[in-house]
Amino acid sequence: MRKIYICGNETESDDGRYYLETDKITKKLKSMRCSVVNPTEIPYIHMGWTDAMESRIKQLKKCQAIYVLPNWKENIMARIELTVAMDLKLETIFHPVSNKEIREILTSLNN
């Protein structure tokens, strides 16, 4: 199963727009038989910033692709995650993207 990491969803708007968008993207990717890693769902209680970042990078390294939300520039962790993904040469998907484009990218990934 292909594993995709969601990047850039930490910044919340007052209307919860990013949460709803992330939820839709997660459902879409799961319907395409992908496993989704959403770092905001991983409990980082009692972790300092450095430990949380290290944990996120470990999760990212287990993925074949990174799905980058438009607000990634607003969060330092998201910027680091994207840099690491680029260093790892992970397939990068920038939102918004059509279902057809996602399927083409997914087909090119190793399972």
The whole-angstrom separation of Cα 38 and Cα 41 is 6
pLDDT at residue 59, rounded to an integer: 96
The fold for domain 2-108 equals Rossmann fold (3.40.50)
pLDDT at residue 71, rounded to an integer: 86
pLDDT at residue 44, rounded to an integer: 73
CA torsion sign for 5, 67, 56, 110 is: positive
pLDDT at residue 42, rounded to an integer: 81
The pTM (predicted TM-score) of the whole model is 0.89
Tokens 């980082």 correspond to what residue? Answer: 44
**Neighbouring residues of 86: CB distance < 8 A, sequence distance ≥ 6:** 92
Low-confidence ranges of the chain (pLDDT < 70): 11-20, 110-111
Task: List the one residue out of 89, 91, 3, 88 whose CA is nearest residue 39.
Answer: 3
ω into residue 43 within 30 of 0, thus cis? no
pLDDT at residue 46, rounded to an integer: 80
Angle 69-86-32 from CA coordinates, rounded to 5°: 50
